[in-house]
Amino acid sequence: MTLAVFTLLLLGAVPIALVLALTAAWYIVASGNTLLFVSYPQQLFGAIEHYGLLAIPLFMLAGELMNEGGLTRRLIDLARILVGGFRGGLVYINLVANMMMAAIVGSAASQIAIMSRAMVPAMEQEGYDKPFSAAITAAGGLMSPIIPPSMLFVLFGVIAQVPIADMFVAGILPGLLMGLLFFMAITVIGLVEQYPKGDWPSRDQARAYLLMGVPAMSIPLIIIGGILSGLATPTESAALASLAALLIGRYVYRDLTFARLPDILRRTAFNAGLVIMLIAAAGVFGWVIIYEQLPQMAAAWIASLTTDPFIFLLLVIGVLLLVGMIIDGIAALILVVPILLPIATQQFDITPYQFGVVVSLTLVLGLLTPPVGAGLFISSSMTGVPPMQIFRALLPFLAMSLIALILLAWQPWLTLALL
């Protein structure tokens, strides 16, 4: 009956945070153990009492300040120096700029919104197909959950009780692998579609782009450098990145004015509030799941299917692809990790870092797949392209993402080599 209530609320377009909180409350009533309501508020607030979660609104703020302060545009110009002269140069520029932004924003949905506004009109002006332009921009958002910093990694680190900094390091090689596979897809598509050869910037242009791009590139260096050197925690690095983005946007590029700060802070607070509410509600729901001993039942079922770690991870990928199509990635992560992580580590000897990278990338694919596909609708609202047209153009990149997932499940060293 509890499952029926959960499904009914979900299909009724009730916000996912309310779905989780109401389902947990229904379970308590249906079980007759109403004393559990005494612990309900404690579980609700206990889910968000973690220092590492402060990194989420700070990374959101850094992304907003970068976009408003002109740093995003300078990163795009910097990418022109690296890949602008290849066939389909603007497509490569889009992808490289997305990789740079992934090292700052940490949220796939936010990155898709920011880069869609910046890149799709420019690609359309140069004659690129608009659905493809929207698709490659949305595909770039897939790298946000694995190229550090990553909101999903922050949450996974909190839930799994592993160092968030180590999770960030574990995502570096997988992020580069994703970028390489996407480059291969773009190369093939460019040859088939005969995209025009790009133009390399002149020496003077390259020098100007480099000089203007260096301050913007300091943001990911502050984040990654602070974490890897041990000088700052991920939360402190996010705070420093936000401060740097504010100072650079205001005093170096002068695109940002203090009059716009209230709107920036309001958007950040609203978006962060949605995420924190979701974490709190999912914490209560996860408490109910553990109380019902679902992890133990799931462990017994999976153990009856296979004893091979690779096959286990393939099963996890298959299940989570379906879950991610329906439930928000953050909520799904909070729901599945308490169930599946103990099975992965205890029965299959899979490290939390490999498991976290595989789970995070798998769930974020749901952002761009029907029937829910929030990323598709974000991209559609930013570009005016129907969601299904974007999805069809996305298929080669989704296929490359699945290849990356299989490689990450098969070869643990891809996540562990830098630890």
- d(CA 192, CA 398) in angstroms, rounded, equals 18
> Is residue 50's pLDDT more than 90?
no
Q: What percent of the chain has pLDDT over 70?
A: 93
Residues written for the chain: 419
CB 376 within 8 A of CB 370: yes
Please give the C-alpha separations between residue 402 and each of 142, 324, 357, 362, 408, in angstroms, as whole numbers.
11, 14, 13, 8, 10
Confidence band of 311 (pLDDT split at 50, 70, 90): very high
Instruction: DSSP letter for 258, please.
Output: G
Please give the C-alpha separations between residue 102 and each of 89, 146, 172, 297, 417, in angstroms, as whole numbers.
20, 8, 11, 37, 21
**Residue in 150, 151, 171, 148 with CA at minimum distance from that of residue 352:** 171
pTM for the model stands at 0.80
Token output for 317: 């990928």
Evaluate the omega torsion of the peptide bond into residue 131 and state whether it is cis, within 30 degrees of 0. Answer: no
- d(CA 355, CA 352) in angstroms, rounded, equals 5
- Give the 3-state secondary structure of residue 87: strand
- d(CA 93, CA 76) in angstroms, rounded, equals 7
Tokens 């590029």 correspond to 253
Per-residue model confidence (pLDDT) at position 310: 93
Q: What are phi and psi of 32, to 5 degrees?
A: 80, -5
Per-residue model confidence (pLDDT) at position 247: 92
- Give the 3-state secondary structure of residue 197: strand
> Is residue 33's pLDDT more than 90?
no
Which sign does the torsion angle of CA 364, 299, 344, 44 carry? positive
Per-residue model confidence (pLDDT) at position 372: 62
Confidence band of 296 (pLDDT split at 50, 70, 90): low
Confidence band of 181 (pLDDT split at 50, 70, 90): very high
> Is residue 13's pLDDT more than 70?
no
As to burial, measured by CB atoms within 10 angstroms (0-12 exposed, 13-18 middle, 19+ buried), residue 326 is middle
- The mean pLDDT of 13-41, rounded to a whole number, is 77
Token output for 131: 């659905």
Q: What percent of the chain has pLDDT over 90?
A: 11
- d(CA 101, CA 219) in angstroms, rounded, equals 10
Per-residue model confidence (pLDDT) at position 106: 66
- d(CA 245, CA 239) in angstroms, rounded, equals 10
> Of the given ranges (8-22, 54-68, 166-180, 332-346), which has the lowest mean pLDDT?
8-22
Q: Which residue has the higher pLDDT, 338 or 360?
A: 360
Please give the C-alpha separations between residue 191 and each of 87, 107, 185, in angstroms, as whole numbers.
8, 32, 10
Phi-psi region of 123 (alpha: psi -120 to 50; beta: other; left: phi over 0): alpha
Name the range with the highest mean pLDDT among 30-39, 49-58, 129-138, 328-337. Answer: 129-138
Q: What angle do CA 279, 113, 101 make, to 5 degrees?
A: 85
> Is residue 412's pLDDT more than 90?
yes
Please give the C-alpha separations between residue 380 and each of 117, 134, 274, 369, 416, in angstroms, as whole numbers.
11, 8, 21, 13, 37
Tokens 């050869």 correspond to 197
Per-residue model confidence (pLDDT) at position 306: 82
